[in-house]
């Protein structure tokens, strides 16, 4: 895919604002602050196309980026401690509405901070993905924050935590050092063309 040619397309705060489902979609899911914007920007080789926000959890919108042959779908982050019940309900309505809309969803990239075990919300999201049957992979973010030994330990531990997901691809990623970028680009291109 020509990732460099991506452009911001639209933001949907309501289900009637989703774009026409006319391109293979690759969606990104993770808790607020996991590094989702940084990963999208790194894959697209852009400084700040996806907004790297200082105030996590602020906007509940699905943001769309289009490029020839695919659309990237930035789902709103979850797990922001200060979210109210009504904000959580809005999040669920929007995200479940997106997954139930019968869109050409080819891949979900589930981000998990490599330094920590999956949160309860991460596990809930993975359960939901398994339920929907959407193909997904796990990107372990901020791997540059670990040394080699810690990285191997965290990898082994996360593989156990994620065993219930079966044989999903697990990709260690760093937006700072670039680990995993080429691998993700390859997997995204394959998914979009399948
Ligand atoms: P989002 O809320 O999931 O979109 O997360 P952001 O992309 O805004 O990143 C949250 C914070 O983590 C920011 O301070 C980023 O600079 C930092 N961050 C994101 N990815 C990485 C990474 O790969 N390595 C390091 N060291 N920091 C990262």
| 142-186: pLDDT as tens digits | 999 999 999 999 999 999 999 999 999 999 999 999 999 999 999
pLDDT score recorded for residue 58:
61
Specify the residue with its C-alpha closest to ligand 1, atom 18: 35
Domains along the chain? 3-193 (3.40.50.300)
> Mutate which of 32, 33, 38, 41 to test ligand 1's pocket (most atoms within 8 Å of Cβ)?
38
pLDDT score recorded for residue 124:
97
- Roughly how many angstroms between the first and final C-alpha of the chain, as a whole number? 12
pLDDT score recorded for residue 48:
82
Ligand 1 atom at shortest distance from the alpha carbon of 175: 23
Task: Tell me the mean pLDDT in the region 26-38.
Answer: 96
pTM: 0.95
Task: Tell me the mean pLDDT in the region 95-114.
Answer: 98
CA–CA dist 20, 103 (Å, integer):
9
**ipTM, two decimals:** 0.99
| 49-86: pLDDT as tens digits | 887 544 554 668 999 999 999 999 999 999 877 778 88
Q: For helices 36-44 and 181-193, what crossing angle results, to 10°? A: 80
Q: How many angstroms separate the alpha carbon of residue 35 from the centre of ligand 1?
A: 4
Site of tokens 């929907």 = 132
Within 8 A by CB and 6+ apart from 82, the residues are: 57
Q: What is the layout of strands, in order, in the sheet containing 105-113?
A: 7-12, 62-67, 70-74, 25-29, 105-113, 136-141, 170-172
Q: How many angstroms separate the alpha carbon of residue 38 from the centre of ligand 1?
A: 6
């Amino acid at each position: 895919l020509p990732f460099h040619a991506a452009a911001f397309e639209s933001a949907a705060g309501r289900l009637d604002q989703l774009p026409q489902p006319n391109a293979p979609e690759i969606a990104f899911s993770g808790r607020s602050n996991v590094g989702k914007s940084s990963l999208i920007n790194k894959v697209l080789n852009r400084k700040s196309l996806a907004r790297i926000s200082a105030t996590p959890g602020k906007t509940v919108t699905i943001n769309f980026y289009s490029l020839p042959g695919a659309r990237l779908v930035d789902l709103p982050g979850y797990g922001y401690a200060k979210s109210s019940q009504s904000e959580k309900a809005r999040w669920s309505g929007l995200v479940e509405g997106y997954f139930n809309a019968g869109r050409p969803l080819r891949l979900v990239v589930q981000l998990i901070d490599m330094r920590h075990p999956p949160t309860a919300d991460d596990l809930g999201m993975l359960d939901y993905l398994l339920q929907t049957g959407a193909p997904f992979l796990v990107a372990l973010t901020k791997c540059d924050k670990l040394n080699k030994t810690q990285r191997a330990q965290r990898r082994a531990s996360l593989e156990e935590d994620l065993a219930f997901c079966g044989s999903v691809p697990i990709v260690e990623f760093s937006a700072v050092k670039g680990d995993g970028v080429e691998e993700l680009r390859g997997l995204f291109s394959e998914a979009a063309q399948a």
